[in-house]
Structure 1
């Protein structure tokens, strides 16, 4: 089991908790309502891949298995007590790396209210303080202005560019790479988010 997992995190109206089977109805409703908005950013299986699109139950089962093995932390985002999206810590590496990556998506109905920057800040703080990780990376398509804005608000610097990095929305897509280490935010990400220089 990952150090620091399971966990529940909260700041104001934004709460994060382990994604659960009981989220199925709300998850499906949010994904259905946001299908067109999320499709350009959703991972897809490349040609020749033998994976079928996962059902929600299969998704939760896989994420929970990864969490038990210490490879991830799948958080559901609740806003005012209602399911609104996910932040998932992926590819946790221990040993000399102490590294992980983060992916996220959000219900469009609550976008623009600072929910995702808050959620990502809470998760990064948890990764550094409770899970003992040293570095967090976020990879974003260059066209995804909403996700890029999250990095801007959090003051997470761009460190590179990965051509044809992931299969997204039916094709191999380039990604911009952002990363932060624990030394870069001794005050914590949530505190950094409230600083005027990162607004």
Structure 2
């Protein structure tokens, strides 16, 4: 008797005005590693310390397993961000620490390749994912943590309607050093940008 292959569930693709978000696939490795490699100096000051095999296939396979496990467990959703017209990879965005019950909250994190920074892609990606989180996932609160010196990220969050709520001391270990972070949040029903978004 023939056995049908197991179908792996993945989050729905989302479309904003300028970007398309979809789950990472094995075939994305080359584009992902190339963009991360050329942007390493741009990204490292704002990220956890890179592993020794960060850009190798072994690191990619481990990352993919974690993405799938977290999605199946309902605690995180990872997306890659693609330019809508040309289809080029421009970065990544994750909705993590998803909680329901009395919290109905999650945290958003993101990165963009250096050559794509400052072009509005990330702002569109954040807005698109936030709309999906509120309207489809029925979350109530989305948080984002940002190092005070990360001016680009602060601009993205504030333009996407997030409000700064305070300072978290020695909050995350970034590039090997414990760093203070501003905490930003957006709550369902807050006034602010709400772009058209549809599942692709």
TM (norm. structure 2) is 0.85
Residue matched to 2:75: 71
TM (norm. structure 1) is 0.85
Deviations 1:78-127 (A, max 9, x none): 11201111000000011110000000000111111110010000000000
CA distance in 2, matches of 1:188, 1:105: 21
Q: Say what the alpha-carbon RMSD is for the aligned residues.
A: 1.8
CA contact (8 A) 2:17 2:195 kept: no
- Alpha-carbon distance, 1:60 to partner: 1.4
The structure with more radius of gyration: 2
Over 6 Å off, 4+ runs: none
CA contact (8 A) 1:24 1:57 kept: no
* Count, aligned residues: 181
Matching of residues 140-155 of structure 1 within 5 Å: 140-155=146-161
Segments of 5+ residues of structure 1 without an aligned counterpart are 46-50, 192-199
- Alpha-carbon distance, 1:64 to partner: 1.3
Which structure carries more helix by proportion? 1
Please tell me whether residue 179 in structure 1 is matched to residue 181 in structure 2.
no
Deviations 1:128-163 (A, max 9, x none): 011111100000000101100102212311011111
CA distance in 2, matches of 1:82, 1:24: 13
CA distance in 1, matches of 2:112, 2:147: 16
- Alpha-carbon distance, 1:188 to partner: 5.8
